[in-house]
Each structure stands twice: as structure tokens, then as C-alpha cells.
Amino acid sequence: MSSRVKLNISDTPLNPANMPQHVAIIMDGNGRWAHARGQRRREGHFQGYLALKDTVYATDDLKIPYLTVYGFSSENWRRPSEEVHGLMDLMATAIHAELDELMENDIRVRVQGRLHEIPEHTRLAFAEAVERTSANARLTFTLAINYGGRAEIVDSVKQLAIQLQSGALTADAVTEELISKNLYWPDHPDPDLLIRTAGEKRLSNFLLWETAYSEIHITPTLWPDFNAQSLIIAISDYQSRVRKFGAVLEA
């Protein structure tokens, strides 16, 4: 068991009655973090892994039931092959190293994306984590690997097209709810809060369908420097918003 100090919501300025149920994070800035220190990009990715570990357990401590992070986008294959291979090795090594502690903390691991296209050792490492943690019931931690929001929508529509072609479904029966039910993890609630680090102001093809009404928090903090306090600041910002979902609220 880790000796880390647990975060207690009563020691934060957060309102326990207004916590997001699902937080999504675009982790950005590993390369810039390393460059600013004269280090190789792989060191930035390693420090990003440590920041992710802290964030997972901080999210769990705050009793937020769902966390989804952007680990590797479908566009990231354009990076130098050495960096891509290093990332795939790091993800496989990290999930092996963390699996026992994830089990001890009742955290369920899921992955989403076109996993058949990633290296076998990385795919098998996550398959083991998903299987071993499948009955865990506290935090559902989902890592998007070889993921693209448009690809997820395409894959959902393909499933519907198969049903339409077979006659099991009519065109009039296709609704937003039906498309949602054919996404990678339809039992996940849509993210209430989307956090993007490193000051970038774009979605980068992440959870395009699911974030239609997410509150967005952008921080200049580079991902390796993101920590529990950064998460608290983002949630505090979320709690300051009035969520109308297109409606008009009475004064």
C-alpha cells in the first residue's frame, strides 16, 4: 500500500454537494516541460505519468466516480517513431507497476480507442488491467489510447448502419440517445468538467460527442506540474459556473 497522504474534501474550499461526477482531462505540455529543463521529451512523459498517478488518487479521494484522460490520440502517430514507441512502452510499464495499488484502492481501469492498432504488449497490459479491476466499484479511470472523437462517432454510426442494413433498425429510430448507446463506454455519464493543461484552447478531437455541455477549465500549468491543488482549482472554477444546458434560469 502506498504511503501517500490522502486528500480530504473537508480540508478544501470545495462544496461536496456540487462535485462533478465525471472529469475529463487533456494532458498537454510534457514536451514543453522537458524542453524548458534541457531534458529529453521522454523525461517529460515520465513526469507526466507521475502527475497522472497523483491526479487519479486525488480524484478518488474527492469521491468523483469517473475520470477520463487523453493518453494517446489517433493523431499522435505522426510523432517521431522513437517517441511513439517510448510512450507505448511507458504506458505498458506504468499500468503493470500500478495495478496492485489500483486493486487495493478499488479503482476500475478502462481503455477506449482503436486498441487493435496499438502494439501487442501495450494492448495486453491494459487488457490484464481491465480484466483484473472489472469488479472494482469506486473510481472508474479510463485512458483514451489511439483515440479520436470523430473515430468514436464513426464507429458508433457503423454499428447503427449494420443494424439498419439487417432490418433490425429503422432510420426513424436513430436518435441522439441511440448514438450515445453505441459509443465506446455508453454507461459513462458525459463529462461535467473538461480540463486542458498548458494553456491550449482546443478540444483536439477528444470526446467530441460527450463534451457537448461540459464546463471547460483551461490552465497554463504544464501537465507534469499538475497536482491535487490544480485539480481543486479546476473544480472550484466548475463550481462557480451556472449550468443552464440551453435553458433560461429564473432570477
Query: 3-state secondary structure string, the chain?
Result: CCCCCCCCHHHCCCCHHHCCCEEEEECCCHHHHHHHCCCCHHHHHHHHHHHHHHHHHHHHHCCCCEEEEEEEECCHHHCCHHHHHHHHHHHHHHHHHHHHHHHHCCCEEEEECCHHHCCHHHHHHHHHHHHHCCCCCCCEEEEEEEECHHHHHHHHHHHHHHHHHHCCCCHHHCCHHHHHHCCCCCCCCCCCEEEECCCCCCCCCCCCCCCCCCEEEECCCCHHHCCHHHHHHHHHHHHCCCCCCCCCCCC
Please report the pLDDT score of residue 64 as a whole number.
98
What are 5-49's pLDDT values in tens digits? 889 999 999 999 999 999 999 999 999 999 999 999 999 999 999
Which range (47-56, 159-168, 183-192, 239-248) has the least confidence? 239-248
- Among all residues, which ones are annotated catalytic? 28, 76
Q: What's the confidence (pLDDT) of residue 3?
A: 58
Tens digits of residue pLDDT in 123-154: 999 999 999 999 999 999 999 999 999 999 99
Structural domains in the chain, sorted by start: 18-148+190-238 (3.40.1180.10)
Kindly report, residue by residue over 177-215, the tens digit of the pLDDT: 999 999 999 999 999 999 999 999 999 999 999 999 999
